[in-house]
């Protein structure tokens, strides 16, 4: 009994940090005009020894000052993206840092703010697929607040029980492989007659060998897990009681028709608690995009899709494809995001010569167009 209590206590999620207010006004930093480098150095001076984390990158005053003083004769946007190894929007990063400093002035200095990759991309701090593929720039901020709590590791939670309310515990039900070897091995075993796994693995290996950072996030997936991810994503986007009610009606109908997941979506503590539970659940899943159709019919379920993101591409990228073609890409232009999913020239070549299809509005998602080995009645 005592051991069970210890496990339950250790798995209990700490109270999340409150979100910070965000806007597009200069409150502490001066309007940078055209000198974003100098403004970033000033932000570093004001941030001091306070460390925040942005897309997995720790940032404090000395780090920002060092970056601002790096390669002063080179274009600032290129320097910033190379140093952070993230597709940062230089101006919107400054608006975000201004909001962090405002929160610090309000008594929150020193709190361990964490802005995950998904949050940063959605808010406009990082480039978004809409910037590149839809011609609709994602301008910071999106909404009036930004979550800054650190999502706990999925493994830190006990699996949700039948009937439980939304929350991170659901990430431990219907688990997908998470270790790289297991992800690749299960994908290959799912479709032994296909070369999909070897094509993906070959691309990832070449990118890593040239210094890129690769995150493999999802390969095979259970349909129940896809439903939970979609539901959490929908709840996180709500802003009102009526919005939550509409989403709950949609989720319950889908659950009854095809998902059959034993979750209770509606919290007895009201719509705001329901939304907050959905937000924490979506953050734990690290879901950045989901649709009803995808939740029901995702290619992840039969091994014809993979999710992986690649950042920190080198200035010169060389790829050799399975069909024998080789291409050298010049990514040195300051406007290059150095992010595979946001680099159309590379994406189109990879699609043709690695025989993959990029889902443009879903940042990490790639499909296999060669599905003759997959049963049609899936």
Contacts of 272 (CB under 8 A, 6+ apart): none
Residues 197 and 286 in one domain: no
Q: What CA–CA distance (Å, rounded) separates 4 from 25? A: 50
> What per-residue confidence (pLDDT) applies to 342?
99
Is residue 378 one of the residues assigned to a domain?
A: no
pLDDT by residue for the chain (378 residues), tens only, comes to: 333 333 343 445 557 799 999 999 999 999 999 999 999 999 999 999 999 999 999 999 999 999 999 999 999 999 999 999 999 999 999 999 999 999 999 999 999 999 999 999 999 999 999 999 999 999 999 999 999 999 888 999 999 999 999 999 999 999 988 899 999 999 999 999 999 999 999 999 999 999 999 999 999 999 999 999 999 999 999 999 999 999 999 999 999 999 999 999 999 999 999 999 999 999 999 888 899 999 999 999 999 999 999 999 999 999 999 999 999 999 999 999 999 999 999 999 999 999 999 999 999 999 999 998 887 654
Residues 259 and 198 in one domain: no
Q: What CA–CA distance (Å, rounded) separates 286 from 178? A: 13
How many domains, the chain?
A: 3
Q: What CA–CA distance (Å, rounded) separates 243 from 83? A: 41
Burial tier of 154 (Cβ tally within 10 Å: 0-12, 13-18, 19+): middle
Residues 266 and 345 in one domain: no
Of 249, 266, 290, the one marking the end of a domain is 290
CB atoms within 10 A of CB 31: 8
Residues 206 and 58 in one domain: no
3-state secondary structure of 245: helix
Residues 348 and 274 in one domain: no
Is residue 152 one of the residues assigned to a domain?
A: no
> What per-residue confidence (pLDDT) applies to 31?
98
Is residue 4 one of the residues assigned to a domain?
A: no
Is residue 170 one of the residues assigned to a domain?
A: no
Is residue 374 one of the residues assigned to a domain?
A: no
Tokens of 140: 């910071």
Degrees to nearest 5, angle at CA 236 with 132 and 142: 45
> What per-residue confidence (pLDDT) applies to 14?
58
> What per-residue confidence (pLDDT) applies to 129?
97
Q: What CA–CA distance (Å, rounded) separates 61 from 44? A: 4
Burial tier of 80 (Cβ tally within 10 Å: 0-12, 13-18, 19+): buried
- Radius of gyration over every alpha carbon of the chain, rounded to an integer in angstroms: 22
Is residue 238 one of the residues assigned to a domain?
A: yes
Quote the pTM value.
Answer: 0.88
Is residue 334 one of the residues assigned to a domain?
A: yes
Residues 303 and 348 in one domain: yes
Residues 82 and 210 in one domain: no
Residue 241: how many CA atoms within 13 Å on its side-chain side?
Answer: 2
Q: What CA–CA distance (Å, rounded) separates 356 from 253? A: 34
* DSSP states of 310-374: EE---SEEEEE-TTS-EEEEE--STT---BGGG-HHHHHHHHHHTT-EE-TTSTTEEE-S--TTS
The domain of 198 spans 191-221+298-367
CB atoms within 10 A of CB 164: 15
CB atoms within 10 A of CB 5: 9
> What per-residue confidence (pLDDT) applies to 2?
33
Helices 271-285 and 241-254, axial angle in degrees (round to 10): 60
Of 112, 131, 146, the one marking the end of a domain is 146
Residues 214 and 326 in one domain: yes
Residues 121 and 30 in one domain: yes
């Amino acid at each position: 009994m005592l051991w069970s209590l210890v496990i339950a206590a250790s798995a209990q999620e700490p109270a999340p940090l409150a979100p910070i207010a965000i806007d597009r006004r200069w409150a502490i930093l001066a309007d940078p005009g055209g000198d974003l480098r100098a403004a970033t150095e000033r932000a570093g001076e004001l941030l001091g020894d306070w460390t925040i984390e942005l897309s997995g990158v720790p940032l404090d005053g000395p780090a920002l000052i060092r970056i601002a003083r790096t390669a002063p004769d080179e274009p600032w946007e290129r320097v910033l993206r190379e140093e952070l190894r993230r597709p940062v929007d230089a101006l919107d990063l400054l608006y975000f840092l201004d909001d962090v400093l405002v929160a610090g002035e309000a008594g929150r200095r020193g709190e361990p703010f964490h802005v995950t990759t998904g949050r940063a991309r959605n808010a406009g701090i990082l480039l978004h697929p809409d910037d590149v593929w839809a011609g609709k720039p994602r301008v910071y901020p999106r909404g009036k607040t930004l979550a800054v709590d650190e999502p706990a590791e999925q493994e830190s939670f006990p699996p949700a029980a039948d009937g439980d309310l939304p929350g991170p515990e659901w990430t431990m039900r219907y688990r997908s492989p998470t270790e790289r070897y297991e992800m690749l091995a299960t994908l290959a075993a799912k479709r032994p007659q296909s070369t999909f796994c070897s094509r993906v693995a070959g691309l990832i290996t070449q990118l890593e060998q040239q210094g890129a950072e690769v995150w493999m996030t999802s390969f095979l997936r259970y349909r129940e897990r896809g439903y939970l991810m979609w539901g959490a994503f929908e709840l996180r986007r709500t802003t009102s009681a009526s919005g939550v009610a509409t989403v709950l009606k949609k989720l319950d109908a889908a659950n009854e028709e095809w998902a059959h997941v034993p979750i209770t979506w509606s919290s007895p503590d009201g719509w705001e608690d329901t939304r907050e539970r959905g937000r924490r659940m979506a953050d734990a899943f690290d879901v950045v995009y989901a649709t009803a159709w995808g939740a029901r019919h995702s290619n992840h379920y039969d091994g014809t899709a993979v999710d992986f993101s690649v950042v920190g591409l080198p200035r010169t990228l060389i790829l050799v494809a399975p069909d024998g073609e080789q291409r050298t890409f010049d990514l040195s232009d300051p406007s290059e995001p150095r992010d595979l999913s946001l680099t159309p020239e590379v994406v189109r070549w990879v699609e043709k010569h690695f025989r993959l299809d990029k889902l443009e509005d879903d940042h990490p998602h790639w499909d296999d167009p060669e599905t003759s080995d997959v049963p049609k009645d899936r």
